[in-house]
Chain A
Amino acid sequence: EAGVTQSPRYAVLQEGQAVSFWCDPISGHDTLYWYQQPRDQGPQLLVYFRDEAVIDNSQLPSDRFSAVRPKGTNSTLKIQSAKQGDTATYLCASRRLGGQDTQYFGPGTRLLVL
């Protein structure tokens, strides 16, 4: 069974530029999570979906961040105008509702904003 895949693996931007991160969850997993992991800290939940619906985006900086999962499978997280404070690793995780509690994480995208 393939794991969670993410692309790109690395991104380097100037402040003010836009960037998109893509996530392909494990097949059959209906719940998808996006986390932000600043350097030397634990991951912090940004948003999560069940199928195509956003269940909780309360921690997503809505003025610059957006996330979609239009067909309930792949998902895209976008930063419209990046700031240096957005420098972090962005992790995607998926889980099958009704199964174990386990969330399976992808390798992440490391973002550096100069």
Chain B
Amino acid sequence: GNSVTQMQGQVTLSEEEFLFINCTYSTTGYPTLFWYVQYPGEGPQLLLKVTTANNKGSSRGFEATYDKGTTSFHLQKASVQESDSAVYYCVLGDGTGSNRLTFGKGTKFSLIP
């Protein structure tokens, strides 16, 4: 089956620093990879999507790249702001019409006060 691993449970940075979140995945099919973001009291919302065809995605200043050789998937942002404080999930879609999603455990990002 599909699985996703996010090792970073929490990341804390100063404003305008560089954010990097790593994720590895395991699958037997041809997945679609997503990053979802969840703000307090809300459901997850799609941040961006990367297909195995194009290797990259970007949205709202965030970029994601995937490496098929190492089955890893990264999210990065050059200059973080207070509004970026949230939980970020690496998500694997099963690539079928059902689009079953497998979520990682999430990485909580916050600014140093």
Contacts and interface: CB of A to CB of B under 8 A. Distances in A.
A45 interface: yes
A43 B42 CA distance: 13
A42 B91 CA distance: 9
Interface in B91-113: 91, 93, 97-101, 103-106
B104 A42 contact: yes
Given A41-B106, A42-B89, A48 B100 contact: yes
What's the interface size class on B, roughly? 20 to 34
Interface in A73-114: 91, 93, 95, 97, 101-108
A42 B105 contact: yes
Interface residues of A, number: 23
B43 interface: yes
B98 A91 contact: no
A45 B97 CA distance: 16
Interface in B29-49: 32, 34, 41-46, 49
Contacts of A95: 99
A56 B44 contact: no
B43 A105 contact: yes
B29 to A, nearest CB: 14
Contact of A105 (B44, B49, B98): B44
Contacts of A42: 4, 89, 91, 103-106
A55 interface: yes
Contact of A41 (B49, B97, B99, B105): B105
Interface of B: 4, 32, 34, 41-46, 49, 89, 91, 93, 97-101, 103-106
Given A55-B98, A102-B46, 10 more contacts: A40-B106, A41-B105, A56-B98, A93-B43, A101-B49, A103-B46, A103-B99, A103-B101, A105-B42, A105-B44
